[in-house]
Structure 1
Amino acid sequence: MKLTEIYWHLRSDIGKIEQALEKTIEAEHPVLRDASTHLLKAGGKRIRPVFVLLSAQFGNYDLNRIQQIAVPLELIHMASLVHDDVIDDADLRRGKETVKAKWDNRVAMYSGDYIFARAIEMATYCEQSEVHLILANAMKEMSIGEVEQIRDQYNEEQDLRKYLRRIKRKTALLIAVSCQLGAVVAEAKPNVQKQLYWFGYYVGMAYQVTDDILDFIGTEKELGKPAGSDLQQGNLTLPALYGMRRDDTLKQWISEHFRHPYGNHLPIDDVIARVKQNGAIADSQKLARQYLQKAFLALEQLPNTRAKKSLRQIGEYIEKRNS
């Protein structure tokens, strides 16, 4: 089953959110407008608005109110991608030029800032003060995550704890908050809000672990970028961490690359082959499944509804996805 088939029944509401996204990023300055539109048109799964919509179905579902938080959450995600591409010096995302590649780093950073600002502006229409506190905390944690990513780039002295904390801030937190805020805006019961937060958190952790696995086992066509890009850009992800523990040659290659990133050629095809062969992929997949099982346990506490079924199907899709 394709991801879009899982929430096909929401296609009309998702279409309205897409229209709202286009309207929100309109800017008077042509460069800001063009750069923001370029990012929006590059596509994406819109998984965060989908989580907002599905979670809101556990309360009083009113699209006009719900999109006031669904749109800002997607904008925050988009802005973070622009900044990530600058940090990683990435030229491609989803097979298309990044904003920093099409323009430059300065335009990318200011475009990201502009999209963040528009997200905050739209979120002000939400009347519940709790929404703003949750959103502000999430943005603070994401900013810390971005600084940590910069600090740890080309740093071989990392461990599992650091990695998990980084992906929590990079990915899991915003997905958790998407689920939580959908329920908050729809005035769902507090326990429902809590369980949806934890579902989103565990799904978000599994999503990022799976993403990091795909960077080693996916094709350039599937990924929209060359395989092994994370490692070449100095980002140590879970398969590499596991692989370095059991393969001294692999550890030496990665260490040399991190110490001399611009003067040392990383044999990426050989690195990928060794990571696949030494059990690092299997161990990473095991951890992703453990997170998903925790997510499904959180779901079990919720009423049996179509939204609950869709959330579980999205979790199952994440485990099997290839792009």
Structure 2
Amino acid sequence: MVADEMNEVNEAILNRMESPVALIPQLAGHLIASGGKRLRPMLTLASARMLGYEGKRHINLAACVEFIHTATLLHDDVVDESELRRGRKTANVIWGNQPSVLVGDFLFSRSFELMVEDGSLKVLKILSRASSIIAEGEVLQLTTANDTSTTEEVYLEVIAAKTAALFAAACEISGVVAEQGEKVETALSTYGKYLGIAFQIVDDVLDYSAKQATLGKTVGDDFREGKITLPIILAFHRGDDEERAFWNRTMADLNQQDGDLDHALDLLNKHTALEDTIERAKHYGAMAKDALGTFPNNPAKQVLCDIVDFCISRAY
């Protein structure tokens, strides 16, 4: 439905990635060309289409959203010491940590140029606030790493910030450019927020799924890093003292041995932690769809509902 507009977004991304410093387009292009879903800019385009917007402002703003996302990925891969993303070596593996961080900074700066060019203080406020919240979420996640006492509430706070904030902003800015008023903007933001939460919950399930190999990622990265996600939280609280000692050794102390990942998977399955986590994702997916209830039915609204189903179906 938005393929033609997405081509315009991709063109804007390539144009704004240019720099006389050759390493910048080279490194940024490695990640941008690696076949991501472009889900966040697609949400901006589909939301604008649902509202009947016929202008062009949303094209550059969708590119801006993708720049923010790409910048955070470059920084995340350095922080997480990741080696693979979308089946390819990460930029930090190829070029090193310092160029990855600095090119991430460049992309953040480019995104702010695009916001300012749009000329709307409201758009600037929404996207700059989202950028701040994402950073807060990443720092909060760092403080919960290896902490097996992390609660489900804190976990949700982390993913609402580090993932859902940009989903929400990507949708909300379409309401602003379409000049549909506060109520519409809030509904779109709510849809994006709950979709983002569902999306990240499923991502955290996928880390323990054999499907990871088909997604170009390795199984158990979160486990090896001691990242406390919802499946671990559920299994930890449902386990006995011996099981909790295992989680403390492997996740809190990062004292991991051969066979520990397999044992972790056995415990997750024993306590239905993965299935129950997927149910949480479905719950937030339903809330995302409910947020669209006030909009008249049209093909773009159906696409936004289908995106919810797509995000959750990745778990299977």
State the TM-score, normalizing by the size of structure 1. 0.92
**Structure 2 vs 1, CA of residues 113 and 57 (structure 1 numbering), >3 Å: closer, same or farther?**
same
Summarize deviations over 1:58-82 as a string: whole Å, max 9, x none.
4452452111211111110011011
| Mapped partners of 2:205, 2:32: distance in 1 | 26
> Residues 218 and 322 of structure 1 are in contact (CA less than 8 Å); yes or no, is this contact kept in structure 2?
no
What residue number does 1:291 align with?
Answer: 284
Is the 8 Å Cα contact of residues 66 and 186 (structure 1) preserved in structure 2? no
Q: Are 1:141 and 2:129 counterparts?
A: no
- Structural mapping, 1:227-238, within 5 Å: 227-238=219-230
Match of 1:190 in 2: 182
Structure 1: state its 5+ residue gaps. Answer: 1-8
Q: Within 1, Cα distance between the matches of 2:80 and 2:189?
A: 29
Q: Secondary structure of 2:166's match?
A: helix
Give the equivalent residue in structure 2 for 1:4: none
Separation (CA, whole Å) in 2 of partners of 1:158 and 1:203: 23
Work out whether residues 231 and 237 of structure 1, in 8 Å CA contact, stay in contact via their aligned partners in 2.
no
Aligned to 2:209: 217
**Residue aligning to 2:26:** 34
8 A Cα contact 1:156 1:236, kept in partner: yes
Instruction: Tell whether the 8 Å contact from 2:278 to 2:315 is kept in structure 1 after alignment.
Output: no
CA deviation string 1:18-41 (max 9, x = no partner): 111111111211222211111111
- Paired residue for 2:166? 174
Aligned match for 1:318, one of 308, 311, 314: 311
Q: CA RMSD in A?
A: 1.6
User: Among the aligned pairs, what percent are the same residue?
Assistant: 31
What is the SS of the residue equivalent to 1:124? Answer: helix
Letter in 1 for 2:128: A
Report the secondary structure of 1:109's partner residue: helix
Look up the match of 1:272: 265
What are structure 2's unaligned runs of at least 5 residues? none
Paired with 2:159 and 2:43, the residues of 1 have a C-alpha distance of: 19
Q: Are the counterparts in 2 of residues 13 and 63 from structure 1 also a CA contact under 8 Å? A: no
CA offset digits 1:262-300 (Å, max 9, x no partner): x53261122112212321112111111111111111111
Of 71, 95, 101 in structure 2, the residue corresponding to residue 103 of structure 1 is 95
Q: Which residue matches 2:193? A: 201
- Distance, in Å, in 2 between the alignment partners of 1:68 and 1:99 is 25
- 1:290-321 Cα offsets, whole Å, 9 max, x none, are 11111111111111111111111111112212
Q: Counterparts of 1:60 and 1:295 in 2: how far apart (Å)?
A: 20
CA distance in 1, matches of 2:291, 2:253: 45
Give distance in 2, aligned partners of 1:168 and 1:182: 20
Alignment partner, residue 299 of structure 2: 306
1:59/1:321 Cα in 2 relative to 1: closer, same or farther (>3 Å)?
A: same
Off by >6 Å, runs of 4+ in structure 1: none
In structure 2, distance between residues paired with 1:60 and 1:128: 19
In 1, Cα distance between equivalents of 2:199 and 2:212:
19
- Alpha-carbon contact 2:226-2:252 (below 8 Å) kept: no
Deviations 1:213-267 (A, max 9, x none): 1111233422322111112112111111111111234432221123432x53261
Cα distance in 2, alignment partners of residues 188 and 265 from structure 1: 56
Aligned partners of 1:277 and 1:127: how far apart in 2?
A: 54
Pairwise CA distance, 1:322: 4.2
* Contact persistence 2:227–2:251 (CA under 8 A): no
- Greater Cα shift, 87-96 or 186-195: 186-195
Contact 1:56 1:183 in 2 (8 A): yes
The secondary structure found in structure 1 opposite 2:187 is helix
Q: Tell me the SS of whatever aligns to 2:117.
A: coil
SS at the partner of 2:56?
helix
* CA apart distance, 1:189: 3.4
Alpha-carbon separation, structure 1, partners of 2:109 and 2:269: 42
Cα distance in structure 1, aligned partners of 2:210 and 2:178: 38
- What displacement does 1:103 show? 1.2
Choose from 42, 46, 60 the match for 1:54: 46
